[in-house]
């Protein structure tokens, strides 16, 4: 039974160590994306052409009329 208490306490210490390491890395800018903005300009034309297609208004809808019987 004492082995379980030792294992739980060691696992809590290791987990808190990983949590502290993650918080320090996030605060120091380790996960900031510095690559994507420099590559985004290479694909600028593709982004504009796809946006232009979606922004253009669709053809006006014609009113559907039921045939006269």
DSSP letter, residue 33: -
pLDDT per residue over 19-56, tens digit each? 999 999 999 988 888 788 777 777 766 555 555 555 55
pLDDT for the residue numbered 1? 87
The model's pTM is: 0.48
Look at residue 20 and give its three-state secondary structure: helix
Q: What confidence score (pLDDT) does residue 25 get?
A: 92
Structure confidence at residue 65 as a pLDDT band (50, 70, 90): low
Q: First vs last Cα of the chain: how many Å apart?
A: 88
């Amino acid at each position: 039974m004492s082995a379980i208490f030792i294992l739980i306490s060691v696992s809590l210490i290791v987990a808190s160590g990983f949590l502290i390491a993650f918080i320090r890395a996030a605060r120091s800018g380790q996960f900031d994306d510095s690559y994507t903005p420099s590559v985004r300009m290479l694909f600028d034309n593709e982004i504009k052409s796809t946006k232009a297609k979606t922004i253009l208004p669709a053809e006006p809808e014609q009113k559907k009329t039921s045939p006269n019987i």
